[in-house]
Amino acid sequence: MKRLAIVATLAVLATLPLWVRGTFYVNIASQILLYAIFALGVNVLAGYAGLVSLGHAGLFGVAAYTGAKILTSGYGHVVVDTAALAVTVAAAAVFAMLALRGTGLGFVMITVALGQIVWGVAYRWISLTNGDNGISITGRPRPFGLSLASPHSFYWATFVVFLTAILSMAVFVASPFGASVRGTRDQPRRMNALGYHVWMIRFVAFLFSGWWSGVAGLLYLYYNEFVSPQAVALTASAEALLMVIAGGTGTLLGPIVGAALVVVIKNVASAYIERWNFVLGAVFVIIVIFMPDGLVPGVARLARRVSMVLRSGPRMATTATRDETSR
């Protein structure tokens, strides 16, 4: 059942530009995909490693800014992308070595500090980053000579990257290393006693997370053909976390749903509702209180309850959900 849903969703996404009317919506879809990649990256830590980071926009931004700087210095896209990702992974290593000194709340606060430092550099080190004015780039990459200038072609390129990201996540989750990461989330002390190197597991997970955040950052740069400190602000990290939490941590589908939710609210709803920030915050609050596992598990639970009620009456439903919540 689950597999069918995944295949169906992917089919819908793959053919999206064919049946969606208007470049506005195709662009929204591109944004959803690139933020979904970012959210998947954040989810590696928040969902699978149990490490909540509020500084990941820093890594996202390092990739975007490094890409922009090297591109405007005249290098080709291959060099730019490789260099940007290498720098981002190095930055992730630094982030990890510092943040892993703390646990729980300490980890969060250190990531906030790190994200703010990156933002501070983007905002204030004007000679390097052009400050608030940001850096513009001309032209998107031309993989195999194909132009990505049109919304449709950019969407498909993003979709390919997105597919790669999902695949790598799926492989990671099913792998022994993925199981180790989840183990450190659930019982770090036990894992240590069993013989696992908990710090190293978390460190490598951080690098993996940083890599995909960097990929998303580059996509962001190419989508907008521009990067500014906005992309590195605390609110950007918060939105990424919101995407993960809203969709459901520790699932593959969750971050994607969360990204779609946030991007749609930001872009589409803001055409109808003026105060999208308010809505975003409200959605956040509601989800955290009423569906702490996130939308995907929450909706799944709701769906199960509904089907139970339909099948055998209300009492069945309440006993069932009590069992589930006894985790």
Partner 1 sequence: MSALAVRGLEKRFGGLRVTAAVDLAVEAGERRLIIGPNGAGKTTLFNLITGELRPDHGAITLFGADITRVPARRRAHLGIGRTYQIITLFPRDTLSHNVMLSLLALMPLRWSPFVRLDRQTALVAAARAVLTRVGLDHLAERPLTQTSYGERRRVEIAMALAQNPRVLLLDEPFAGLSIEERRDVLALVTGIPRDVTIVMIEHDMDVALDFAERISVLHFGEVVMEGTRTEVVAHPRTREIYLGE
Partner 2 sequence: MSLWLLLAVNSITLGGLLFLLSAGFSLIFGLMRIPNLTHGSFFMLGAYLSTSLIARGLDFWTAAILSGLGVAVFGGIVERLILRRLPGSELAQVLVTLGLSFMVADVCLMVWTGDPIRIDTPSALRGTTSVLGLDFPKYRLAVSLVAVVFAAGLWALLERTRLGAMIRAGVDDPSMARVVGIRVSRLFTIVFCLGAWLAGFAGVIGGPILSVYPGLDAEMLPLALVVVILWGSGSLLGSFVGSFIVGFLYNFGQAMFPELAYVVLFLPMLIVLVVRPRGLFGRQAA
Give the residues lining the site for partner 2 (CB under 8 A).
52, 54, 98, 101-102, 104-106, 108-110, 112-114, 116-117, 119-121, 123-128, 233-235, 238, 241-242, 245, 275, 277-278, 280-285, 288-289, 292
Q: Are 69 and 187 in contact (CB under 8 A)?
A: no
Closest to partner 1 by CB, 146 vs 179, is 179
Closest to partner 1 by CB, 26 vs 191, is 191
Q: What backbone torsions phi and psi does residue 135 show, to the nearest 5 degrees? A: -120, 130
Q: Are 38 and 259 in contact (CB under 8 A)?
A: yes
Site for partner 1 in 296-315 (CB under 8 A): none
Angle at 210 between CA 12 and CA 90, to 5 degrees: 145
151 binds partner 1 (CB under 8 A): no
- Selected from 171, 273, 303, 316, the binder of partner 1 by CB under 8 A is 171
Closest to partner 1 by CB, 67 vs 297, is 297
Is residue 43 classed as helix, strand or coil in its secondary structure?
helix
192 binds partner 1 (CB under 8 A): yes
With 0-12 CB in 10 A as exposed, 13-18 as middle and 19+ as buried, what is 299? Answer: middle
Q: At 201, list the tokens.
A: 């597991």
Binding site partner of 194, from partner 2, partner 1, none, Cβ cut-off 5-8 A by kind:
partner 1
Alpha-helix runs per DSSP H in 15-103? 16-19, 23-43, 56-72, 77-99
What is d(CA 203, CA 2) in angstroms, rounded to the nearest whole number? Answer: 31
What is d(CA 129, CA 132) in angstroms, rounded to the nearest whole number? Answer: 8
- Selected from 14, 121, 152, 183, the binder of partner 1 by CB under 8 A is 183
Closest to partner 2 by CB, 44 vs 242, is 242
C-alpha 271: how far from its chain's center? 24
Minimum distance of partner 1 from residue 67's CB (angstroms): 26
- Selected from 176, 313, 314, 319, the binder of partner 1 by CB under 8 A is 176
By CB under 8 A, name the binding residues for partner 1: 171-172, 174-180, 182-183, 186-187, 189-198, 208, 326-327
